[in-house]
Each structure stands twice: as C-alpha cells, then as structure tokens.
A = this chain, B = another copy of it.
C-alpha cells in the first residue's frame, strides 16, 4: 500500500535530490532587512520577529523548492515567539505544501500515551475532532523514544490511518549523543541499536510499494562509522540524516545510508544552506536566493556525485542509459 515512504521516493525521483533543507530561523542570523521591515510593521516585538521569520522562511522555501523534495521545520525556533511564532510555523507549513514540498516537523516529541495522542493530533490532525477545523498538518514528525513503545504507538497508529511518516531518534548528530545512545546494554546492543530494533519491528509491519516503511529513523550524518550498521539493522526504513554541513557531515561519508536501490536516505542541512550568505548585512532578496541556490545545488551535487561513484545514483544512471 502506498505510504509516506512511497511519497518520499516519488518526490525524490522527481526532484533528483535526496536533500532536505532545514528551516531553523534564528533572529540573530537572518538578513537584517527582514528585521527592519518587521520592525516598521510591528515594532521590536514577538509579532515583529514572527513576521521576519515568516518572510525569511518563504524566501528559503521559494528558493529551494526546485532543488529539494522535502523541507524540515525546526519547531523550537518558532516557539521562541509564543503564539505568533507558532502561527508562523503553520503558515510556512502551508506555504511549503502549496509549493509541492513534503514537510517534516522536527519537534522531537514523545510522552506518555494520552499525551502522545495529543501531540500526534497537533501535528497530524484527527478526523474525529471537529474543533481542530482547518489547521494544516505536516507530513512527518520526529519522535523521541525515551518513554518507550507505548509512547510511539499513538503516533504510529495515526501515521498509518492518516498516511503520515515518523522519524524516530535513533542516533542523533550531536557530540554528546554518545552519553546515552552509545551506552552498551547487557544484551550487547547499545541503546541506539536497541531503538533501531524497535524501529525495524514497526517497519516490518508497515511496508509500502517501494519496500520502505512509513516509520523512519534519525541517524546523524556526523557518525560515519555507524551508518552502515544502522542501515543493516533497519533495511526498510528511510533515514533522516541531519548534521551535513555546519555539523561536519559530507556526501562521501553518508553513501552507506542508502540501499543498493539508491533510496532510503534523506540528507538534511540547515545552517549551511539558510545562512550561506554569511553576512546579515546582505542587501537584497536576489542575493540571498543566489547564495542559497548555490549552497543547495552544491550539496545536492556532492551527494549525487558520491552516490554515482558507488553506483547508487538512480537518475543519472537512467540519463546515461537513455543516451545509448
């Protein structure tokens, strides 16, 4: 049955890109002219900040939409500005979806069962709740597994019925992910390998048309040596690999995240793309768009070239064939 992973593969093929652009807008790093405009409209206020984030986010989306299939919005940067920030988050979700992009909410939620149901409803909606009217929904959500399987189930059940996707945190990109995730259990597995086994059990019960599940895994692009291990533990899951770029991940190091079919991984970068103009004094939207376009195309080429070298690039191989 067609599920979230099939939607991913369909769109990745169409855009010829495994890249995900992360939208993590920090008021201290976005171009100054967005702030000046916002200040003139709403003053230096949460409402003003939320407006600046909205306009900047739209620019990013409008720029990257031809080069990527998926964007990932980091909830934290919007929550800073309270209800105004959250309104911007959902406006950008709608904008990205209207532009044909798949949207992942990077919110890393996880709680006891009834509360996880409420979080699932927050991000995926719930057809039985007539009060939640026209709020948009995201296509996928990142999930923290610390509370165990009964905290994943409500998200998983909603994802099945509403055709959504999940990315469970298995091995995160940050340095101190080792503090807990690399700890070895008596069973010989590490904590993150244990979570990988959970993910695989869920995945085996929810395989789509292309052989992948709606339940994916977050595996940091920074942990090169572990990627192949996790690929083997979760053969049917799409990996979301954050940490490319600003956190140090590179294309040549993450090809093991892909299956021999050339699919199964989405490589995410945020700061190295959306702040690629380096200076907040940059003057025009045209200049910003050029910097972001260059950054996202370079990243895409870096990954596609690395995959080509390993004979894992689906579309260039097809392009070569068509020349015969």
Q: Which chain B residue shows the least CB distance to A88?
A: B83
With both chains docked as a complex, state the minimum distance between the C-beta of A86 and any C-beta of chain B, in angstroms: 4
With both chains docked as a complex, state the minimum distance between the C-beta of A222 and any C-beta of chain B, in angstroms: 10
Using a CB-CB cutoff of 8 Å, which residues 10-37 of chain A contact chain B? 24, 26-27
Number of interface residues of A (CB under 8 A): 70
**A149 and B179 contact, CB distance less than 8 A:** yes
Using a CB-CB cutoff of 8 Å, which residues 91-120 of chain A contact chain B? 108-116, 118-119
**B131 and A49 contact, CB distance less than 8 A:** yes
Q: Which chain B residue shows the least CB distance to A246?
A: B114
**A46 and B131 contact, CB distance less than 8 A:** yes
Asked if A180 is at the interface of the complex by the 8 Å CB criterion, the answer is yes
In-complex Cβ contact of A48 among B90, B109, B131, B194 (8 A): B131
* A315 / chain B contacts, CB cutoff of 8 Å: none
Which segment of A140-148, A157-165, A255-263 sits at the interface?
Answer: A140-148
* A181 / chain B contacts, CB cutoff of 8 Å: 146, 148
**A195 and B174 contact, CB distance less than 8 A:** no
The answer for the CA separation of A84 and B132 in the assembled complex, in Å, is: 11
**A76 and B44 contact, CB distance less than 8 A:** no
The answer for the CA separation of A145 and B112 in the assembled complex, in Å, is: 15
Seen from chain A, the residues whose Cβ lies within 8 Å of a Cβ on chain B are 24, 26-27, 44-46, 48-49, 74, 76-77, 79-87, 90, 108-116, 118-119, 121-122, 129-135, 144-151, 169, 172-181, 183-187, 191, 194-195, 198, 242
**B185 and A76 contact, CB distance less than 8 A:** no
With both chains docked as a complex, state the minimum distance between the C-beta of A158 and any C-beta of chain B, in angstroms: 12
Interface CB pairs A-B, < 8 A, 26: A26-B114, A45-B131, A46-B133, A48-B131, A76-B109, A76-B115, A79-B86, A80-B121, A81-B132, A81-B135, A82-B135, A85-B122, A108-B111, A112-B174, A112-B242, A144-B144, A144-B146, A146-B180, A147-B174, A147-B177, A147-B180, A148-B179, A148-B180, A150-B175, A180-B191, A185-B185
**B83 and A45 contact, CB distance less than 8 A:** no
Tell me which of A77, A87, A114, A121 has the highest count of chain B C-beta atoms within 10 A of its own C-beta. Answer: A114
Beyond A83-B87, A183-B191, list 17 extra A-B contacts (CB 8 Å). A44-B130, A45-B131, A76-B109, A76-B119, A76-B122, A79-B86, A79-B119, A80-B121, A81-B135, A82-B87, A112-B172, A112-B173, A144-B144, A145-B180, A146-B146, A148-B180, A150-B175
* A74 / chain B contacts, CB cutoff of 8 Å: 115, 118
**A115 and B24 contact, CB distance less than 8 A:** yes
With both chains docked as a complex, state the minimum distance between the C-beta of A50 and any C-beta of chain B, in angstroms: 9
With both chains docked as a complex, state the minimum distance between the C-beta of A240 and any C-beta of chain B, in angstroms: 14
* A113 / chain B contacts, CB cutoff of 8 Å: 174
* A183 / chain B contacts, CB cutoff of 8 Å: 185-187, 191, 194
* A133 / chain B contacts, CB cutoff of 8 Å: 44-46
A-B complex: 10 closest residue pairs judged by Cβ atoms: A148-B179, A148-B176, A83-B87, A150-B176, A76-B118, A49-B131, A79-B122, A112-B174, A146-B146, A83-B86
